[in-house]
Structure 1
Amino acid sequence: MIRYPQTILTISILTLLATTPAYPIVGSRSAPSESIVRAVVTVAAAGGGVCTGTMIAPNIILTAAHCLAPGTANRVIDYSAKPPRLIAPQQVAVHPRYNAQFIAAHRATADVALLRLSAPLPGKSAALLGVPRVPFSPASRFTVVGIGSIVAGSDSGVGTIRAAPLAVTGQPGTLQVRLMDPQTQNKSAGMGACTGDSGAPAFEDQDGNSVVVGVVSWSTGANNSAGCGGLTGVTPLTLYNDWIVKTARSWGAVIP
């Protein structure tokens, strides 16, 4: 069963605001590098849901389109303030080919969106944007970095930035890439996206740099069951990179 790892739990935004995120090694997901930590942000939605976002310019955040439902009052949490504060984006853009009905039917779509802040987010810096190298091979590796839960169906650990190194499986294409824990291979619970990791960046090492090549769209439990720790579905940026760059430029931002 596919889970869309935007939180559907009632996670208190006040709880997230009260706790400054740490970056320890927790469970099977490890701490990412400090440069990646500075690029990852928490995107909060009305009703208590959260997603993960990535700074790709000083005031531009990349996330999943399904995190930004029409009419939802999205906010970004600024943990540098004491106490942390909620920042309303100045502009939001969802890819024009995104289809919410496709998401509901578990079909691949342009699950990509951008948020523009009025000013750079203190303490944060942009990650490099890249395009996945295609065709993929069984040797392809990606690292997913998110603020999601460490336990399926729970808000345990939400808000802490963790990394999961994952391997490509199945027959990936330019619309969707399925990742799995190379140790458990979707046969038993392992590393992977979970509640709160929607929109999380998928990094690939290219020429000595970690670059963002996709965003997390869904996850499953082991053997495609309900939950987390099985497959992690990533929407690659292969077809959407130009739209991201052009939209950011129309907002006056330069993508590094």
Structure 2
Amino acid sequence: MAFCAPALAVTGGAPPATGDVARAIVMLVDENGDLCTATALAPELVLTAAHCVIGPHKRVVKVYQTGQSIPVRSAQAHPRFNFASYAASRATADVALVKLMAPLPAIVAPAELAAPRRVSAGETLTIAGFGVTVDRTPIGLGVPREAPLTVTGKPGSLQIRLVDPKTRNRRAGLGACVGDSGGPAFETGADGRRRVIAVVSWTTAPNDEDGCGGLTGLTPLLLYRDWIVETAKKYNSTLP
């Protein structure tokens, strides 16, 4: 499986994110300017991908609605995350929590976690992020976008693959790209509410080549939800 560079955005002409989806996501930016997407779970706590917090870099969370930057107090990757496995395109616990030094503004609306379950092929999940809209360019970076994608293959507890149902990984379509790593994948419940069920981890170009617009790979929260809840408690954060 071919991966994008570690800081993965919604490409292929996806529309701007709106409503609760747009209000739940923030930008996570390190001192080198590398950008990932994160999801607010509480006023001072965001969820992202573990590969987005590797290395002793200073990081801030940026709120696109206000332009505010909030320094990161600490970041904790899941203890079973293995960067060597990630770099070798093997599934790993690519999940992390980031504690902020101050609360997010009220315009940011923390998202709920989905109940633990396995997804099924053919389901629709919605990804969201701040990544580029054209691979290998800065075009679109920093603008929140969302895209409904279809679960494909044989989804399990370690990895979920999504595809644009119109292009099916045969030609360029909607999907994650540079800047969307760590962003949420939402399920839509019977009550119409969107809840986070996975985190964006990797992407490919069509036909499993390097790039974007083919497959979008997710790390499901199924095995890691309890760790998220317990770690949030250690951070004195109450999840919605």
Superposition CA RMSD, Å: 1.7
Aligned partner of 1:42 in structure 2 is 27
Distance 1:219 1:80, change over 3 A: closer
Residue of structure 2 aligned with 1:236, choices 216, 220, 236: 220
Deviations 1:8-38 (A, max 9, x none): xxxxxxxxxxxxxxxxxx9631233321111
Letter in 2 for 1:168: V
Q: Report matched runs for 1:135-150 at 5 Å.
A: 136-150=119-133
Partner Cα separation in structure 2 for residue 126 and residue 91 of structure 1: 19
Segments of structure 2 that go 5 or more residues without pairing to the other structure are none
Deviations 1:72-113 (A, max 9, x none): 2121113455xx343211121110000011011110000000
Percent sequence identity is 45
- With the length of structure 1 as denominator, give the TM-score of the two structures: 0.87
The answer to whether the aligner puts 1:153 opposite 2:136 as a matched pair is yes
Letter in 2 for 1:166: L
CA contact (8 A) 1:131 1:237 kept: no
The answer to whether the aligner puts 1:74 opposite 2:59 as a matched pair is yes
Deviations 1:182-201 (A, max 9, x none): 01000000000001000010
Displacement of 1:67 in angstroms is 0.5
Deviations 1:146-177 (A, max 9, x none): 00000011111000000110001111100000
Displacement of 1:128 in angstroms is 1.0
Partner Cα separation in structure 1 for residue 14 and residue 30 of structure 2: 25
CA contact (8 A) 2:51 2:94 kept: yes
CA contact (8 A) 2:16 2:143 kept: no
Deviations 1:41-66 (A, max 9, x none): 00001211100000011111000000
Residue of structure 2 aligned with 1:215, choices 174, 177, 199: 199
Partner Cα separation in structure 1 for residue 165 and residue 12 of structure 2: 16
**Structure with the greater relative contact order (CA < 8 A, sep ≥ 6): 1 or 2?**
2
The answer to whether the aligner puts 1:100 opposite 2:64 as a matched pair is no
The answer to whether the aligner puts 1:184 opposite 2:167 as a matched pair is yes
- With the length of structure 2 as denominator, give the TM-score of the two structures: 0.93
Residue of structure 1 aligned with 2:69, choices 86, 103, 120: 86
The answer to whether the aligner puts 1:114 opposite 2:97 as a matched pair is yes
Displacement of 1:69 in angstroms is 1.4
Segments of structure 1 that go 5 or more residues without pairing to the other structure are 8-25
